[in-house]
């Protein structure tokens, strides 16, 4: 790849998405970062990196905003498309105690919408480029412990939808990554999480880099170790 590489990070207002943006900017990349609305942390980053950071508005659950972004980016090359957006609701609950709408919201935001966004944005990524989605260690059915079971189910559904995507687009020469970043202290991860953002995200970016040019779907942790589906 020649020239400055570009990453498009969808869901970058705070937490891990914001950290991904900052990490790639620090490594000399151009970054297109999306938020649902105004994000003060992204605005601050844009003043530090005025010529390398572009901020766009996308709500991943609103396909129109994703399509509008695709239109605005017409003709651009995105080396890494990273869908990070996600939510966690009713983390202690089982189906008998949870609000049905919380489960449906997680299925929409964590599984359906990310893969729809990949379908809409995929042709911005050239052959040899990378499409990554933030999954979770909790998305592994083989390793399930019952922890955060409703959220975990939405990440397992994401993994399944990407299996389908990979089969449908078997001729694409993209690296397709379902990323497990570890349990990280963010608004979602909470203060008991074992990793700081700084202990996770640089390794995630190294791992994405290590997969450059390797076509096919992989479900991997931040050390690039494969996880059981």
Residues that bind ligand NAP (CB under 6 A): 11, 13-17, 35-36, 58-61, 84-87, 109, 134, 136, 181, 183-184, 186-189, 193
Three-state DSSP class for residue 124: helix
E strands, 147-195, are: 175-180
Long-range contacts of 206-211 (CB under 8 A, 24+ apart): 207/177, 207/179, 208/80, 208/82, 208/130, 208/132, 208/177, 208/179, 211/130, 211/175, 211/177
Which residue number, 124 or 197, has a Cβ lying nearer to ligand NAP? 197
Question: Closest approach of Cβ 209 to ligand NAP, in Å?
Answer: 19
Question: Closest approach of Cβ 62 to ligand NAP, in Å?
Answer: 8
Question: Closest approach of Cβ 96 to ligand NAP, in Å?
Answer: 23
Which residue number, 120 or 215, has a Cβ lying nearer to ligand NAP? 120
Alpha-carbon distances of 81 from 32, 77, 85, 212, rounded to whole Å = 10, 10, 12, 12
Which residue number, 87 or 215, has a Cβ lying nearer to ligand NAP? 87
Three-state DSSP class for residue 114: helix
Which residue number, 73 or 193, has a Cβ lying nearer to ligand NAP? 193
Question: Closest approach of Cβ 158 to ligand NAP, in Å?
Answer: 9
């Amino acid at each position: 790849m020649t020239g400055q590489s570009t990453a498009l990070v969808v869901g970058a207002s705070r937490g891990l998405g914001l950290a991904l943006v900052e990490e790639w900017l620090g490594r000399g990349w151009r970054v297109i970062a999306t938020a649902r609305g105004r994000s003060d942390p992204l605005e601050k980053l844009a003043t530090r990196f005025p010529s390398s950071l572009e901020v766009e508005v996308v709500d991943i659950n609103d396909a129109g905003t994703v399509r509008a972004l695709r239109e605005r980016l017409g003709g651009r090359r995105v080396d890494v498309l990273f869908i990070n957006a996600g939510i966690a609701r009713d983390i202690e609950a089982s189906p008998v105690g949870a609000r049905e709408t919380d489960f449906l919201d997680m299925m929409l935001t964590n599984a359906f919408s990310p893969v729809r966004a990949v379908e809409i944005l995929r042709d911005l990524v050239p052959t040899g480029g990378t499409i990554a989605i933030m999954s979770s260690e909790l998305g592994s059915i083989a390793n399930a412990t019952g922890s955060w079971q409703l959220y975990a189910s939405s990440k397992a559904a994401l993994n399944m939808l990407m299996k389908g995507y990979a089969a449908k687009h078997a001729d694409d020469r993209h690296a397709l990554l379902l990323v497990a970043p570890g349990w990280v202290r963010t608004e979602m991860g909470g203060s008991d999480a074992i990793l700081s953002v700084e202990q996770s995200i640089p390794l995630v970016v190294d791992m994405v880099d290590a997969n450059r040019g390797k076509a096919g779907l992989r479900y991997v942790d931040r050390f690039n170790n494969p996880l059981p589906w």
